[in-house]
């Protein structure tokens, strides 16, 4: 690293960030029901290892997990980057086949 | 003086007359994709009015009714704009764009209005958009004057803790309760947090931190905001069901009283809870509806639900429980028996997702554009099962009630048809007379948007004339297929087809 020198603003920011003293506080997600902070049920097993507490039907839970940024890893992040996901599909239960995988946006 | 007194009496009479004419009625507010706010009649769940909310509202939003002026405040534009809508006229009367310049400001659900309707409080989490990074800024509560029109800017801003999802103004308008993983009380004069109500950071012996999944606001008539709280008994065998505890937190906006009550071990999950105006009733919902005695700390009754419901509220008098959210279903249950009173699908079966269910009291006569159309509120499956019940009761008038005023009915094998209710009535009476034990047994229902196809068994003991031959007391059972087309909830075409030979072959035996 001693042979490398930060040439632009971003590189300088990275250089600062690797210094422990300069690390910013890690911010918690805004949503109360954040993805990794709760023991809410998933779509495979519920909190007690069964299936009785999964959403019924499962499709009715898709938007409920996406809209409040509840599970931004499992479903597209509608709030942050993929607000059009689900556009034109008002009922996930009836139109789930139309809901596509969210692909990373190309870097411009 | 005489004229003045006359004017006074005139004014009093006007007021009395006005009060007498007000037809206050209870409604439920819920939202669904893509940008619809529904006002539902609390009596039967029918859509009374649909508000098309401006802006990009994909996703779910806060719904904050203002009792004082009949407005509702909602978030739109991906949580970056606050709209105020007059519920009677449907007009937009307030707008605040939260994002400004390089600051992207969103309100993720936390919003409430003062009891006089003059101040709107909005929890926001601003982010500064830099060229190559985002700067997370401190969370705030913004204060808006609600009479500031369609280009409103905040008159005050107070720094608040992060991770707040619900706001509730105290009944005296002096405090603001902030609900997140912990709850806080803010003095609205000084803007300072004056009290904390620990849940996520509680220190309870042999107990994990309390966990709340979210906040679905529902305190408008009970004055108590509640939420299910989950925790683990750390001194118990983790493989034992008794290690996992469900409780409910209750925060009273009138008294400031706060308590968390354990009421069952976590065998059934609950998303939202709502306190009733009939203390100590609290209701929780998810895949079941549970009634909780919040004084005794126990679940007193539970009924399974046919689908997941995210959110719950109660009628103003506490006698009915309303459930909705998640998918497209909204339903009402009796608060004592938990029996279902009505259940509806929203038009188009649009998802409500994280929407809250709020209860409002409006003068029905004053609602502009009141809708009384027969939408397909009910799933066709439920409708057909009710229709079949009417057949099996031999309820002629009941069966006729499912048909539109203009329809066609045909029984192809028997060559019978009807185009009026009078003609159909004769067919029904003849059928029940000749087959006194006639019954329909549904095997399958194939549901389309405006039609269903049913496969069913007709069964009974037939007498009468068939193809010029008189039969008497012939038991039969034939498979039948019906094509049923609907307009709204009414049948406009019904075509039955079944194997007449099966009946005749029985007659020949």
Identify the residue among B104, B286, B354, B356 best suited for mutation to test binding to A, counting A beta carbons within 10 A and taking the highest: B354
Q: Residue B426: is its pLDDT beyond 60?
A: yes
**Do the beta carbons of residue B328 and residue B349 sit within 8 Å?**
yes
Domains B25-378 and B381-508 share a fold: no
A87 interaction partners in chain B (CB closer than 8 Å): 34, 58
Tens-digit pLDDT profile for residues B284-321: 999 999 999 999 999 999 999 999 999 999 999 999 99
Torsion sign (Cα): B461, B465, B471, B476:
negative
Q: Nearest CA of chain B to the CA of A47: how many Å?
A: 9
**Do the beta carbons of residue B426 and residue B368 sit within 8 Å?**
no
Residue B59 Ramachandran class (φ > 0 left, ψ -120 to 50 alpha, else beta): left
Size of interface A-B (CB pairs under 8 A): 135
pLDDT at B216: 94
pLDDT at B18: 42
Task: Return the C-alpha torsion angle B351, B357, B358, B362, nearest 10.
Answer: 60
Question: Angle CA(B104)–CA(B215)–CA(B109) in degrees, nearest 5?
Answer: 25
Domain assignment of residue A4, yes or no: no
pLDDT at B466: 76
Q: Nearest CA of chain B to the CA of A58: how many Å?
A: 9
Mean pLDDT of A59-74: 81
Give SS3 for B325. coil
Identify the residue among A23, A57, A63, A87 best suited for mutation to test binding to B, counting B beta carbons within 10 A and taking the highest: A63
CATH for B381-508 (3.90.25.10, 3.10.450.50, 3.40.50.10380, 3.30.420.40): 3.10.450.50
Domain assignment of residue A8, yes or no: no
Q: Nearest CA of chain A to the CA of B261: how many Å?
A: 20
Neighbours of B340 (CB within 10 A): 16
Mean pLDDT of B114-133: 95
Q: Nearest CA of chain B to the CA of A69: how many Å?
A: 9
Q: Nearest CA of chain A to the CA of B236: how many Å?
A: 15
Annotated catalytic residue within A24, A40, A46, A61:
A61
Of the candidates B454, B35, B77, the one whose C-alpha atom is nearest the C-alpha of residue A88 is B35
Interacting residues of B9 by C-beta distance below 8 A, sequence separation 6+:
none
Specify the DSSP class assigned to residue B46. Answer: -
DSSP E strand boundaries for B381-424:
403-411, 416-418
Q: Residue B3: is its pLDDT beyond 60?
A: no
Tokens of B86: 């007059």
Identify the residue among A75, A90, A108 best suited for mutation to test binding to B, counting B beta carbons within 10 A and taking the highest: A90
Q: Residue B9: is its pLDDT beyond 80?
A: no
Mean pLDDT of B470-483: 89
**Do A60 and B109 count as a contact with CB atoms less than 8 A apart?**
no
B326 interaction partners in chain A (CB closer than 8 Å): 55, 60-61, 64
Instruction: Please give the Cα distance from B39 to B60 (Å, whole number).
Output: 16
Confidence label for B113 from pLDDT (cuts 50, 70 and 90)? very high
Among the partner residues B59, B244, B287, nearest to A79 by beta-carbon distance: B59
Is residue A90 annotated as part of the catalytic site, yes or no? no
pLDDT at A58: 84
Among the partner residues A32, A56, A94, nearest to B180 by beta-carbon distance: A32
Q: Residue B5: is its pLDDT beyond 70?
A: no
Domain assignment of residue A106, yes or no: no
The residue segments making up the domain with residue A34 are 26-98
User: Which CATH number belongs to the domain containing residue A50 in this structure?
Assistant: 4.10.940.10
DSSP E strand boundaries for B339-450:
340-345, 358-363, 403-411, 416-418, 439-447
If you measure CA to CA, which chain A residue comes closest to B59? A67
Distances (CA, A) of B459 to B271, B389, B438, B439: 45, 14, 6, 5
**Do B214 and A55 count as a contact with CB atoms less than 8 A apart?**
no
pLDDT at A8: 82
Sheet holding B183-187, edge to edge: B164-169, B175-180, B183-187, B193-197
Domain-wise residue ranges, chain B: 25-378, 381-508
Among the partner residues A31, A67, A94, nearest to B349 by beta-carbon distance: A94
CATH for B25-378 (3.40.50.11540, 2.130.10.10, 2.40.160.210, 3.50.30.10): 2.130.10.10
Q: How many domains does chain A have?
A: 1
Domain assignment of residue A92, yes or no: yes
Q: Which of B80-84, B110-114, B236-240 has the lowest mean pLDDT?
A: B236-240
pLDDT at B339: 92
Mean pLDDT of B236-244: 92
pLDDT at B486: 85
Among the partner residues A61, A79, A90, nearest to B326 by beta-carbon distance: A61
**Do A63 and B33 count as a contact with CB atoms less than 8 A apart?**
yes
**Do B308 and A29 count as a contact with CB atoms less than 8 A apart?**
no
Matching residue, tokens 């940024």 = A69
Domain assignment of residue A11, yes or no: no
Of the candidates B30, B68, B223, B214, the one whose C-alpha atom is nearest the C-alpha of residue B147 is B68
Q: What is the ipTM of this complex?
A: 0.72
**Do B165 and A91 count as a contact with CB atoms less than 8 A apart?**
no
Tens-digit pLDDT profile for residues B42-54: 988 989 999 999 9
Q: Residue B32: is its pLDDT beyond 90?
A: yes
Among the partner residues A9, A32, A79, nearest to B79 by beta-carbon distance: A79
């Amino acid at each position: 690293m001693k042979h490398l020198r930060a040439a632009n603003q971003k590189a300088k920011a990275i250089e600062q960030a690797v210094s422990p003293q300069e690390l910013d506080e890690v911010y918690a997600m805004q949503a109360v029901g954040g993805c990794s902070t709760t023991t809410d049920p998933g779509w495979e097993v519920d909190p007690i290892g069964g299936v009785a507490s999964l959403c019924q039907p499962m499709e009715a839970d898709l938007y409920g997990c996406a809209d409040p940024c509840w599970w931004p890893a499992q479903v597209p992040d509608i709030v942050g980057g993929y607000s059009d996901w689900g556009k034109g599909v008002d009922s996930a239960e009836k139109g789930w086949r139309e809901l596509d995988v969210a692909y990373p946006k190309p870097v411009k | 003086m005489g004229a003045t007194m006359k004017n006074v009496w005139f004014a009093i009479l006007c007021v009395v007359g006005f009060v007498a004419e007000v037809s206050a009625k209870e409604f439920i507010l819920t939202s669904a994709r893509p940008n619809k706010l529904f006002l539902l009649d609390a009596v039967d769940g029918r859509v009374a009015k649909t508000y098309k909310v401006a802006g990009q509202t994909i996703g779910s939003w806060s719904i904050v009714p203002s009792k004082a002026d009949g407005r509702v405040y909602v978030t739109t534009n991906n949580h970056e704009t606050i709209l105020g809508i007059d519920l009677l006229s449907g007009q937009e009367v307030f707008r605040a764009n939260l994002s400004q310049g390089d600051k992207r400001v969103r309100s993720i659900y936390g919003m409430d209005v003062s009891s006089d309707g003059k101040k709107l409080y909005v929890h926001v989490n601003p982010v500064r958009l830099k060229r190559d990074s985002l700067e997370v800024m401190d969370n705030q509560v913004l204060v808006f004057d609600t009479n500031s029109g369609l280009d409103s800017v905040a008159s005050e801003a107070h720094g608040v803790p992060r991770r707040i999802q619900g706001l509730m103004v105290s009944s005296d308008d002096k405090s603001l309760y902030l609900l997140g993983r912990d709850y806080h009380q803010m003095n609205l004069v000084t803007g300072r947090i004056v009290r904390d109500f620990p849940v996520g950071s509680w220190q309870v012996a042999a107990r994990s931190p309390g966990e709340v999944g979210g906040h679905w606001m529902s305190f408008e008539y009970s004055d108590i905001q509640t939420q299910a709280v989950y925790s683990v008994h750390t001194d118990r065998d983790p493989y034992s069901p008794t290690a996992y505890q469900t409780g409910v937190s209750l925060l009273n906006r009138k008294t400031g009283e706060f308590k968390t009550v354990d009421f069952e071990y976590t065998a059934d999950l609950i998303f939202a809870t709502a306190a009733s105006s009939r203390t100590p009733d609290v209701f929780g919902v998810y895949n079941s509806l549970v009634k909780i005695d919040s004084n005794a700390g126990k679940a007193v009754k539970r009924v399974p639900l046919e689908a997941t419901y995210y959110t719950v509220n109660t009628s103003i008098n506490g006698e009915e429980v309303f459930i909705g959210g998640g998918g497209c279903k909204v339903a009402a249950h009796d608060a004592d028996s938990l029996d279902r009173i009505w259940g509806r699908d929203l038009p188009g079966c649009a998802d409500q997702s994280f929407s809250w269910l709020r209860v409002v009291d409006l003068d029905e006569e004053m609602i502009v554009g009141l809708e009384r159309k027969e939408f397909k509120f009910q799933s066709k499956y439920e409708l057909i099962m009710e229709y079949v019940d009417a057949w099996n009761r031999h309820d002629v008038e009941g069966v006729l009630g499912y048909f539109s005023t203009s329809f066609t009915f045909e029984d192809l094998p028997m060559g019978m048809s009807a185009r009026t209710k009078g003609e159909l009535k004769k067919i029904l009476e003849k059928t029940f007379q000749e087959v006194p034990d006639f019954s329909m047994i549904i095997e399958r229902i194939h549901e389309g948007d405006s039609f269903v196809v049913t496969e069913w068994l007709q069964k009974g003991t037939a007498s009468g004339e068939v193809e010029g031959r008189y039969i008497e007391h012939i038991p039969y059972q034939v498979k039948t297929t019906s094509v049923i087309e609907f307009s709204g909830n009414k049948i406009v075409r019904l075509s039955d087809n079944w194997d007449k030979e099966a009946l005749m072959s029985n007659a020949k035996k």
